[in-house]
Amino acid sequence: MDSDRSRWAIVFAALCATCVFVAACAGEAPDDEPVADEAAILPQWTFDPSMIFPADRSLTRPEDGIALPDGRLIVVDQVHGLRLVDLDGTSVPFGDMPAAGYIHDPPEHSGGANGISLEPDGAHVLIADIFHGGIYRVNVMTGATERVYQHDYGVNTAVRDSRGAIWFTQSARNTPEDGEARMWATVDIPQAEGALLRLGAPDGRLADEAEVLVDSLFFANGVAIDEANGHLYLAETIAGQVLRYNVDVATGRLSERSMFVDGMAPDNLELDGAGNLWVAAPLDNELWIVNTATGERHSAFHAQTPAQQETVAEFMRRGETGTSRMELFTPELWSPLPGLVTGLIVSAGDGPVYLTGLGDALVKLPR
């Protein structure tokens, strides 16, 4: 017990300094709205096994994560909910999601920690449970953890806007009882069960029930809100597109839906300070950077083998014909990477970019 307290004392002290910096940065209003710089030189990476991080592959389903200003990471973890990853790749459990209701009790109930996002205050993160439907809030200074909402179905990702509302996606109609199996059934035989929902906060407190804003989506996934330019981006993975809406965060209203990106199976999304949308594309082992002003796209990372390409082609063919395809969900589908690519972490400044996924490690892309 004393060693645990010592460990947390060290972690909390470091995070307190980090969060002061993050909150200060979050509070700075830019002089101009971010606009993608067409002349900027965009990064390009080629996979090398030395990029696998940590080298001992000691993570468990790190589907998503965030970077702290000092270079450390907070990634989701199937067993504990979250892990804090140091610069050398060592990691410790972070927060206390199990005490707040998070369940990992395989084989009946595997943990579904999935999307994570930093709130505008820079001091809290939101974590979504794709198998059991919980949305958790963790204070990155103290580790204090609470479940702020329980959805009827699994929640893929959740993000908070500057007014306090939480926007989140539902990929399938998978209840806590049939969570993992039902979710994968929707991947196997596509069903239009996805949705985008919003928990308003009109008086500073979250509403008791979420409002469905968009439904009948084929596996709703990542969400990114560009408040400065009034856009919301939504990944519809199995439909192979990123949708864009005009958004008014003050009212929670969406309008003018358009297809912003197609021709890929998008997963997690991330906006950078230069006005670019970063898109993880699992089936292609690819990372795209899309100029939000022009729609021009740049492939920043692409790691495929001939065998992987053949497996993906068959996976897609079966999806188009409504044939079961989960038997193809093997390492050949994501080789040579440590797991199926699902997201990305963009560090501040010239820090590394990390690819997250469903395996046991990240892919570290130096800048």
Return the pLDDT at 307: 92
Residue 127 within any structural domain of the chain? yes
Residue 316 within any structural domain of the chain? yes
Residue 2 within any structural domain of the chain? no
Span 290-317, average pLDDT: 96
The pTM assigned to this predicted structure is 0.90
Quote the domain boundaries for residue 251: 49-365
Residue 36 within any structural domain of the chain? no
Phi first, then psi, for residue 76 (nearest 5°) are: -70, 155
Return the pLDDT at 40: 72
Residue 15 within any structural domain of the chain? no
Residue 341 within any structural domain of the chain? yes
Inter-residue contact 35 to 71 (CB < 8 Å) = no
Residue 357 within any structural domain of the chain? yes
- Tens digit of pLDDT for each residue in 202-215? 988 999 999 999 99
Return the pLDDT at 10: 42
Return the pLDDT at 1: 44
Return the pLDDT at 8: 46
Total number of domains constituting the chain: 1
Residue 300 within any structural domain of the chain? yes
- Specify burial of residue 79 (Cβ count, 10 A radius: 0-12, 13-18, 19+): middle
Reported confidence tier of residue 21, pLDDT bands at 50, 70, 90: very low
Phi first, then psi, for residue 18 (nearest 5°) are: -60, -45
Write the CATH number for 216.
2.120.10.30
